[in-house]
Amino acid sequence: MTQDKIERLRQEISTKVREYYELVHAPKRFVPFESKVPYAGRHFGPEEMQSLMGATLDFWLTLGPYGHRFERALKVYFDARDAILVNSGSSANLLAIATLCCPTLEGHLRPGDEVITPAVTFPTTVAPLVQHQLVPVFVDCELGTYNIDPALVAEAISPRTRAIVVPHTLGNPCDLDALTQLAQRHGLWLMEDCCDALGSTFAGKRVGTFGDLATLSFYPAHHITTGEGGGLIVNRQRFIKIARSIRDWGRDCWCEPGVSNTCGQRFGWQLGDLPLGYDHKYIYSRIGYNLKPTDLQAAIGCAQLAKLDAFIAARRRNFQRLRNGLAPCEEFLIFPQAHPKAEPSWFGFPLTVRAGVRRAELVRWLEEAKIETRMIFAGNLLRQPAFQEITHRVAGSLTQTDRVMQDTFFIGVYPGLTDEMIDFVVERFKQFFKRAASSRPQAAAAV
């Protein structure tokens, strides 16, 4: 009887949540110059709110049943050894590097070891290297792909090089043929930062499945969101226990929350200098953190992941519509390029202004029409205040990186954009170049 009542109440609440969604959150009519054209954003329906409400009523709070479901679904999606939820993409990067530095890992990284990474990047892709006293070795990127140049990676390798850490910039896969070959030939760990690239493929295989470890972000701007959130994709068995332990306080015990004695000898261990039989729940064999998200976040993730294929298709469609629409502006803009084997699940649409065009003016023109723009994250990371004094090495020049910092920006392709919005964006670009080129009639005619 009580069970029936519980079910009925849950059903009623779920119906109300749907009603509330339709009233408050359903997409609004687009009004040019008044409505924003966001560069990214949460894209959700009533299902995410209903799933969150289900988890709220369960009131498990800490990572629990929804967490397991989400981790299992991600593991299947990547055909990975494991998928470990964390509370952000930055935490995922931290966990990946902490795992590679863990003294219980054979061949672990040590302070002073070099890690090759691009200088155009996100700050928390590099921060864990600094935090672990590793030496980032910065190399230049390619204009157009905005990814690390593999030829420069090969040149940057020294006897101290132990790992390569690469973001797939704005969802555009790096040359994973070249990078995996280099990693194999030189015995380097490969870590893929896939925070912006969920669903992108290279040679028909998902990015995140090439490296030893890969990371995901579920921050609202990303392909799927849980609010704050992220994940570590584990492609080698030997990392699983270490990474899970470091995420969970560094504990030796691997019981799920609320469970005891999974190992069958909770009071039978003798580790470190602890007395024999010290409770395994309180034995710490690694220096760890608590990086777990909540079950509420995981509940949203489960509903978002079910829509991922549709989200990716929408991102690709929006990208193509922009690309086709902007084609007449090629004289003024360098368009994004992908490796021939890559099929990006685009995070954004990057553009570099050609000589004679000022990025600041173009960006202002777009923003005045409420078209959101963003820079490629930190630009040249070494020019950021926090990174100017870090121990590092630069291999070669960072000419293209500096060009990206000066001349590149990106606009949105996320599934919340409609054809009407994209056509408005295209028109706004064309107007800018028509105005700018009015003193050069032949250029104006092109747009």
Ligand X SMILES: Cc1ncc(COP(=O)(O)O)c(C=O)c1O
Binding site for ligand X (CB under 6 A): 88-90, 93, 122, 124-125, 167, 193, 195-196, 217, 219, 230, 377
For the chain, report the end-to-end CA distance as a whole number of angstroms: 70
Minimum separation from the CB atom of position 218 to ligand X (A): 7
Give me the least distance between CB of 122 and ligand X, in Å please: 4
Nearest residue to 88 (alpha-carbon basis) of 212, 220, 199, 202: 220
d(CA 4, CA 410): 52
Our CB check for ligand X shows the closer of 96 and 326 to be: 96
Minimum gap (Å) between residue 221 Cβ and ligand X: 6
Q: How far is the CB of 193 from ligand X (least distance, A)?
A: 5
Beta carbon of residue 377, minimum distance to ligand X (angstroms, whole number) = 6
Q: Tell me, yes or no, if 222 is annotated catalytic.
A: yes
Residue (124 or 380) nearer to ligand X, CB: 124
Report whether 256 contacts 250 (CB < 8 A). Answer: no
Minimum gap (Å) between residue 168 Cβ and ligand X: 8
CB of 161 to ligand X, least distance (A): 22
Nearer to ligand X, 241 or 247 (CB): 247
Task: Report the residue closest to ligand X, judged by CB.
Answer: 89
Task: Using the minimum distance from each CB to ligand X, give the nearer residue, 88 or 401.
Answer: 88
Residue closer to ligand X, measured from CB, 216 or 326: 216
Cβ-based neighbour number of residue 50 at 10 Å: 19
Cβ-based neighbour number of residue 368 at 10 Å: 10
- Least distance in angstroms from the C-beta of 40 to ligand X: 9
Task: Look at strands 230-234 and 82-86 and give their pairing.
Answer: antiparallel
In order of 263, 290, 329, 439, the CA distances from 428 in angstroms are 63, 47, 11, 19
When the beta carbons of 176 and 253 are compared against ligand X, the nearer one is 176
Q: Between residues 218 and 365, which has the closer beta carbon with respect to ligand X?
A: 218
Choosing from 43, 168, 222, 339, the catalytic residue is 222
Handedness of CA 410, 412, 414, 419 (dihedral sign): negative
When the beta carbons of 135 and 174 are compared against ligand X, the nearer one is: 174
List residues with catalytic annotation: 222
